[in-house]
Chain A
Amino acid sequence: MNDLDFLRLSKPQKLLHKLKTAILGIPGKLLGSLKGLVMWFVNLFKGIGHFLADLVMTYVRGDWKTKISYTVMGFGSMARGQWLRGVMFFVFQTLFNMYLFMPILKISESREPLCGLNVVTLLANLGTVETAKKGRVTVYGDNSFLILLYGVLTLFLIVAFLYTWYVNVKQNKISEQILKSGKKLKTAKDDMASMLDSQFHKTLLAIPTAGVTMFTILPIIFMILVAFTNYDNQHQPPQKLFTWVGFENFQTLLSAESNDLGVDITDKGNGTVTLTITAKDGDIITVDTTDVAAAQAADALAVDSSAEFSFETIGTNAETGKDNYRLTFTGDAGEPVTLEATSWLYVSTPSFSHTFKQVLLWTLIWAFFATFLNYFLGMLVAIMINKKGIKFKKMWRTILVMTIAIPQFISLLYVSKMFAADGLINGMLMNWGWITEPLPFWTNANWARVTIIGINVWIGIPYLMLIATGILMNIPADLYESARIDGANAFQTYMKITLPYMLFVTGPYLLTSFTGNINNFNVIFLLSGGKPLGMDLAGNAGNTDLLITWLYKMTVTDSNYKLAAVMGILVFVVCAVINLVVYNFIPSVKNEEDFQ
């Protein structure tokens, strides 16, 4: 189908065609990326081959100064008169060797300090010496946390060393070539001068790069590694060791609903048994029952994968005031079993995977509303303020901008208190007699969600108003003029001119704002703190918790670092997927990257 044919199609047909080509294009794209991947690896190995060959050739062809530089870094530079470079290489090598071979790292009370190389070998199982008691004194064993931290740090240093060593070798090669061609080498003075001129980018980037490496890259790699350990409140250094567990934590958080129903029976004596049922969505339900025969029948039923389990409430127990439940088990292995009893103890422990799905869903809903509701309302406000004939434009803007100026922890904390059960809003409404009970702004899950989105509009409109104002002013006025001449009304001009223009220009902003809202910690934390807590949610998660606030709770309240680390990786995956999809489908985002 050529372009002309495409233009002849009606709108739905066009859409259908686009969809079709997109879907049909998937195998081709996959193949293409596979090819790209293979080529990448081929090139990588080729590159490594060239690299090694180059190293060997430099050694073979080089003079004695170069050859010594292979073991004593900077020797060649010093011997050729470039003492500044030579000394720097040499000092770096000396310091690195000291770190690697001198025992300076204290990782355990019961061990002598270790050298950098030893710590790397300990990475294999993150420490072996357990905490022991010698008489009355507790002697702490290996600190797995420090082993991991120093281990990663040492690996970083080794990479940095290898790179510097390579630069040192390359220096020799270049110097030799320069000397052969009869030119002079750069002196230390030249080197200093070039720091501010031809090498100025290195000067400017040195400190920021060091900072990011030390305080962002190193910690992120550390936490990614923690996701593969069992580091939690049961395995807290220095009392306890933690160790590698592979993908176990990912399974905990992501395990799909299992196929099997698990039923366990434990005898409690006096004719009562405790039934522990692991439901297919991972929830664990504990029930006490006196109907031992039925419990055993249920256990027998649960062996095959088609076994199902359901439960319902059947009235309240008159004596205990608690609900009575009826459990029904069905399966291929036998007749359905129904369990009913007068007295039940019902405990449900929700699974992490179930909670993760819930929290992720709310995070996406929240990010959607927080981004687009604010976007359209903010644009509307900007249009209203900018309309011809509206006076005091500056005043309206200033009033709105107050919410940006005042630190969020003050405004959000105060507003959060305003909506509390004993807060101003409920108090006034009750005083006026409009309501008798306080409205459950923070205690009912759905109320809390709506309230948060509403307050976020209050916070977010001013930002969008400022952005939209700037862009609206850039829309050529003659566009509107010609629309007016053609007899378009306000709504039509908005739909045909303003909105497309805004969407095109702010495409990248919408993207960053969406991912920003996925990680919008402040609003949720200061307003509701993730509350109200949900019975069906594990790990202290509340109904308004985002992934990021749940991650915070896991770190600070629960010390469940392993799952927090997994969650951090998953947040990254969610953001990366959204970014990739949008980059591939929205033209303005893609083109904006290279607008220079």
Chain B
Amino acid sequence: MAKKNNIPEVDIIVDEKAGVIREVEPDKKLRSKKGHERRVNGAIYAILILMSIIWLCPFVFLVLQSFRGESGGQVAYVIPKQWTLDNYAFLFQGVGFSLQTLVKDLPNIILTVITNVLGIWGMVAFLRRKPKNPIEKTKGNLKAAALVFGVLLLINFMRCVDSTNCDFVRWFMNTLTIALFCAVIQTVMVLSVSYTLSRMRFKGRKLIMNVVLVLGMFPGFLTMIVLYYLLKMFGLTQAGAVPGLILISCASSGMGYYISKGFFDTIPKSLDESARIDGATRFQVFLKIIMPMAKPIVIYTILMAFMGPWGDYVFASYVAFGHKASYNVAVGLYRWVNTNDYQGYFTRFCAGGVLVAIPITVLFMALQKYYVEGVTGGAVKG
């Protein structure tokens, strides 16, 4: 892009008589061309504005509907006649903050206070990237530690929220738990597989890649029933659906190595080799040389792993079948809106949707840059 902008604003004229090409400042004769340009741009703006409206409308409607006071299902107008927060209140009905749990975990409370500060600072610092020097590196380690503490804090907080009587909060917590675990475990799995396949040459490497390619062509839901029975063997269905879902979505996650392998492929191999000559083990190369350089792809992997469970309906509903307490948000809200008497739950679905969408959207927008990098790289390299 930068290259393009450097080209000076001149018009090029082919002087046929002299047989040369001349660059001249734009003059009046060429005004009409500029006018044409302006018309084209105008048309593009019109299209873009129209598109923006189409793209944003459903979300605006969703938010507006969530504040609607009139009962009933869908209505033929956009702006509610009666504004209310009842729909949101319904979502949190029956939720309490269990003081007992809090007191029982007194040592944890102290930790919570510290981690609260550390965690928020860590997250903020993590998102604002700065150039690196030795001091920054120590800070970076601190930040990483703070991030871990922040996650601990979140889990700690979740334990204190008593959601026994409140479906929505419970579903939200279930999904958050799954998402957090997936974000950690899947990332480790994906990175180790993609790093191995990208940097190391060993017997069976090609075989592994081909087997994964072939396995990937089988539709995922084919094996649903077997997975259900496998989980049942370990007691991880219905009431134990949350750990069950974590297990299932993490176990085979190594198969999605393509994008991060493509990224590792772009890191020059000479880096590894020079470190190896200096006496570093492969493990040290992986941890100290490659990982710091792979930050964009690490964040991309974490982001994808974290966002996945929020939309997981099919398998989640199959594993948690009939056990309301272990639904995730997708299953719960889908049930609300696809029952026969969905009219009563429509505005509540909207409110729930808004509450789920906000944190995910904010997170996604904050880390958008990494997502774009991952998607673009993945598309180019296949």
Contacts and interface: CB of A to CB of B under 8 A. Distances in A.
A414 B12 contact: no
Contacts of A385: 48
Given A387-B41, A405-B365, A508-B382, A417 B346 contact: yes
Interface string B312-352: 01100010000000000010011001000000001001100
Nearest to B365: A405
Nearest to B286: A200
Nearest to B357: A406
A576 B217 contact: yes
Nearest to A195: B283
Contacts of A220: 215, 218, 222-223
Contacts of B380: 470-471, 505-506, 509
Majority-rule SS of A interface residues: helix
Contacts of A592: 381-382
B21 A417 contact: no
A262 B208 CA distance: 50
Interface stretch (B69-77, B95-103, B147-155, B160-168): B69-77
Nearest to A490: B40
B219 interface: yes
Contact of A477 (B4, B47, B223): B4
Interface in A476-524: 476-477, 481, 484-485, 487, 505-509, 511-512, 515, 519, 521-522
Nearest to B11: A484
Interface stretch (B109-117, B125-133, B371-379): B371-379
A575 interface: yes
Given A200-B281, A381-B51, A410-B357, A211 B250 contact: yes
Nearest to A193: B281
Contacts of A423: 74
Given A219-B230, A506-B379, A548-B221, A415 B193 contact: no
A513 B41 CA distance: 32
B382 A473 contact: no
A407 B356 contact: yes
B364 A427 contact: no
Nearest to B283: A196
Given A200-B281, A385-B48, A409-B330, A424 B55 contact: no
A458 interface: yes
Interface in B210-224: 212, 214-215, 217-224
Contact of A409 (B75, B217, B265, B313): B313
A455 to B, nearest CB: 10
A235 B42 CA distance: 66
B215 A408 contact: no
A398 B375 CA distance: 15
A395 to B, nearest CB: 8
Given A407-B360, A561-B225, A212 B333 contact: no
Interface stretch (A15-23, A52-60, A201-209, A281-289): A201-209
Given A399-B52, A408-B311, A417 B337 contact: yes
A470 B372 contact: yes
B310 interface: yes
Contact of A406 (B281, B349, B360, B375): B360
A102 interface: no
B361 interface: yes
A422 interface: yes
Contacts of B215: 212, 216-217, 220
Interface in A264-279: none
A358 to B, nearest CB: 18
A572 B361 CA distance: 34
Contacts of A466: 371-372, 375-376
Given A388-B4, A506-B380, A565-B222, A398 B365 contact: yes
A424 B313 contact: no
Nearest to A418: B58
A526 B368 CA distance: 25
A512 B259 CA distance: 12
A541 interface: no
Nearest to B4: A477
Interface residues of A, number: 111
B183 interface: no
Contact of A589 (B248, B251, B382): B382
Contacts of B41: 387, 389-390
B25 interface: no
Given A413-B334, A414-B353, A595 B381 contact: yes
A410 B353 contact: yes
A521 B372 CA distance: 24
A83 to B, nearest CB: 23
Contact of B281 (A196, A403, A408): A196
A63 interface: no
A10 interface: no
A21 B281 CA distance: 53
A146 B376 CA distance: 45
A410 B282 contact: no
Contacts of B361: 402, 405-406
Contacts of A203: 283
B189 interface: yes
Contacts of B333: 409-410, 413
Chain B interface extent, by class: 35 or more
Interface stretch (B138-146, B194-202, B292-300): B194-202
Nearest to A408: B311
Nearest to B75: A427
B192 interface: yes
A124 interface: no
A223 B224 CA distance: 10
Interface in B168-213: 189, 192-193, 195-196, 200, 202, 208, 212
A209 B306 CA distance: 22
A420 interface: yes
Contacts of A404: 364, 371
Given A212-B254, A398-B365, A405-B364, A509 B379 contact: yes
B316 to A, nearest CB: 10
A572 B221 CA distance: 12
Given A409-B311, A422-B74, A485 B45 contact: no
Given A208-B192, A400-B55, A473-B1, A522 B360 contact: no
Interface stretch (A26-34, A86-94, A324-332, A551-559): A551-559
A509 B58 contact: no
A38 B314 CA distance: 44
Nearest to B248: A215
B277 interface: no
Nearest to B310: A407
Contacts of A398: 365, 368
Contact of B219 (A424, A431, A481, A568): A568
A149 B233 CA distance: 11
A485 B14 contact: yes
12 contacts: A200-B283, A205-B193, A209-B254, A215-B227, A223-B222, A387-B44, A389-B37, A390-B41, A396-B51, A427-B77, A571-B217, A572-B217
Given A405-B357, A407-B310, A509-B379, 13 more contacts: A146-B229, A212-B215, A222-B223, A384-B48, A389-B37, A400-B51, A409-B334, A414-B62, A424-B74, A477-B3, A509-B378, A565-B222, A571-B218
Interface of A: 145-146, 149, 193, 196-198, 200-201, 203-205, 207-209, 211-212, 214-220, 222-223, 381, 384-390, 396, 398-411, 413-415, 417-418, 420, 422-424, 426-428, 430-431, 458, 462-463, 466-467, 469-471, 473, 476-477, 481, 484-485, 487, 505-509, 511-512, 515, 519, 521-522, 525-526, 547-548, 551-552, 555-556, 561, 564-565, 568, 571-572, 575-576, 579, 589, 592-593, 595-596
* Top-8 shortest CB links A-B: A427-B76, A508-B382, A208-B254, A470-B376, A568-B222, A219-B223, A211-B251, A196-B283
